Amino acid sequence: MRTDFDAELEERLLRYTAIDTQSDEASDSQPSTAIQLNLSRLLEQELTAIGAKDVRLTDYGAVLATIPATAPDAPTIGFLAHVDTAPQFNATGVKPRVHRAWDGSAITYPDAPDLVLSPETSAYLGTKTGDDIVTASGATLLGADDKAGVAIVMTAARHLLANPAIPHGKIRIAFTPDEEVGRGVDPRLPKDLDADFAYTLDGGKLGEIEYESFSADGATVTIKGVSIHPGWAKGKLVNALHLAAKIVQTLPQATMTPETTEGREGFLHVYEMSGGAAEARIKLILRDFELDSLAAKGALLQQVCAAVQAGEPRAQIACEIRPQYRNMRYWLEKDMTPVDLARAACREIGVDPVSVPIRGGTDGSRLTEMGVPCPNVFTGMQEIHGPLEWISVQDMAAATKVCLRLMELAAP
């Protein structure tokens, strides 16, 4: 059944997802890809057109705007979503498709005839019979992560500006680049946002209000071998690729990997290996909900590298581990006001709130660490970062209502 905001949210989602905004971890530019600015500039224009104030595109690629307060004594609340899409799967030429009042049958894809989306492949989909389901065409991801969040924030902003009788404090909006490559929160953003607390619209199932995330480190292992012509290599060649393979093979395989863990279990994930016989590089991510367990995973990686180095002293093996983000629970549990507001707003619109730990991170993880408490609110996005990605328009509408209601609840 179509509900309030459905048409606007659907139209915005289809328009935004058709714009390629894929980020690039290997790029040193800010944002990492210039194409992200195509959507950012559009959002800057749209915010100006609906009457938002202080609209600007920062030199670090974030779009900022203000909705003036109608209840001046209420706190300033920020709402954020990221414009970039994940680099793990093709995001060029997205062709969004709407399955109106989905009847429960298997969804197929014109650009990938063997691909099937059904409750058997995505259990949550089985609860959405009758909803309007949006997918891509099979050749790309959809990009609801996080253009659904962008559409929700824009729809809520348009509604507030069109209805000034709704009581709320000053609202600050931020659309960030490069969240998918861990660079969504520029050091200048917390001050520029200037919010008492904030919310990222970057969550999954209906009702999820998340205040726990992984703590995250990234690691790069560099192996320098001894290069020589293979025809005269006996006793001289040290193949960096062989040593890289040995490191990967020595790391846990049956445990402590993404495909063998769930719930509150952390992991150590090899996601890229490159190079040649002379020099090779392994990139990994380390994830855990607790810092001591995260440190233990880093120590394990270093021990494996040291053992392989000891077995081949002619090689040079360096392991660099760098912090990425930390579990936002460490700060939010000291003052749960933003979380409690979102939960109360859920209940008031008839949705049961649920808080589960995020097996990942958001811009909110970094913002919270940097002094702006920022839990995460659901959008409905599912099966993200791949061709089966989908979302319910009605879940997006519920998220929009939660945002609007929590603003009112925060007003005295």
Task: Give yes or no: residues 30 and 40 share one domain.
Answer: yes
Task: Give yes or no: residues 64 and 177 share one domain.
Answer: yes
Q: Work out the mean pLDDT of the chain and round it to a whole number.
A: 96
Task: Give yes or no: residues 236 and 97 share one domain.
Answer: no
Give the tens place of pLDDT for each residue, 66-106: 999 999 999 999 999 999 999 989 999 999 999 999 999 99
pLDDT above 70 for 389: yes
Asked if the structure places residue 1 within a domain, the reply is no
Task: Give yes or no: residues 339 and 359 share one domain.
Answer: yes
> What stretches of 259-392 show up as alpha helix (H) in DSSP?
291-311, 329-332, 337-348, 363-369
Task: Give yes or no: residues 40 and 184 share one domain.
Answer: yes
Q: Is 179 one of the catalytic residues?
A: yes
**The domain that contains 293 carries what CATH number?**
3.30.70.360
pLDDT above 60 for 1: no
Task: Give yes or no: residues 241 and 304 share one domain.
Answer: yes
Mean pLDDT of 387-398: 98
Of 20, 84, 312, 389, the active-site residue reads: 84
Task: Give yes or no: residues 48 and 76 share one domain.
Answer: yes
Helices (H) and strands (E) in the chain, counts: 10, 16
Annotated binding site: 82, 145, 180, 202, 385
Kindly give, in sequence order, each residue whose CB lies less than 8 Å from that of residue 79, ignoring residues fewer than 6 positions away. 153, 156, 157, 171, 172, 173, 174, 198, 199, 201, 403
Of 179, 212, 288, 389, the active-site residue reads: 179
Asked if the structure places residue 354 within a domain, the reply is yes
Using CA atoms, how far apart are residues 127 and 382, in angstroms rounded to an integer? Answer: 13
Task: For residue 301, give the 3-state DSSP assignment.
Answer: helix
Using CA atoms, how far apart are residues 190 and 8, in angstroms rounded to an integer? Answer: 30
Asked if the structure places residue 199 within a domain, the reply is yes
Using CA atoms, how far apart are residues 384 and 295, in angstroms rounded to an integer? Answer: 28
pLDDT at res. 291: 96
pLDDT at res. 2: 62
Examine residue 146 and say whether the peptide bond preceding it is cis (omega within 30 degrees of 0): yes
Point out the domain boundary residue: 325, 345, 364. 325
What is the residue range of 233's domain?
A: 215-325
Task: Give yes or no: residues 91 and 188 share one domain.
Answer: yes
pLDDT at res. 412: 81
Task: Give yes or no: residues 165 and 37 share one domain.
Answer: yes
Asked if the structure places residue 100 within a domain, the reply is yes
Task: Give yes or no: residues 165 and 51 share one domain.
Answer: yes
Asked if the structure places residue 309 within a domain, the reply is yes
Task: Give yes or no: residues 82 and 191 share one domain.
Answer: yes
Task: Give yes or no: residues 170 and 319 share one domain.
Answer: no
Give the tens place of pLDDT for each residue, 132-183: 999 999 999 999 999 999 999 999 999 999 999 999 999 999 999 999 998 9
Point out the domain boundary residue: 271, 295, 325. 325
Give the tens place of pLDDT for each residue, 10-57: 999 999 999 999 999 899 999 999 999 999 999 999 999 999 999 999
Give the tens place of pLDDT for each residue, 186-218: 999 999 999 999 999 999 999 999 999 999 999
Pairing of strands 209-210, 97-99: unpaired
pLDDT at res. 190: 97
Give the tens place of pLDDT for each residue, 228-285: 999 999 999 999 999 999 999 999 999 999 999 999 999 999 999 999 999 999 999 9
Task: Say what the alpha-carbon torsion angle 121, 123, 125, 129 is, to the nearest 10 degrees.
Answer: 120
**The domain that contains 110 carries what CATH number?**
3.40.630.10
Point out the domain boundary residue: 268, 301, 325. 325
Annotated binding site for Zn(2+): 82, 145, 180, 202, 385
**CB-count burial class (<10 Å; 0-12, 13-18, 19+) for 340:** middle
Overall domain count for the chain: 2
Q: Is 25 one of the catalytic residues?
A: no
Instruction: State the pTM of this model.
Output: 0.92
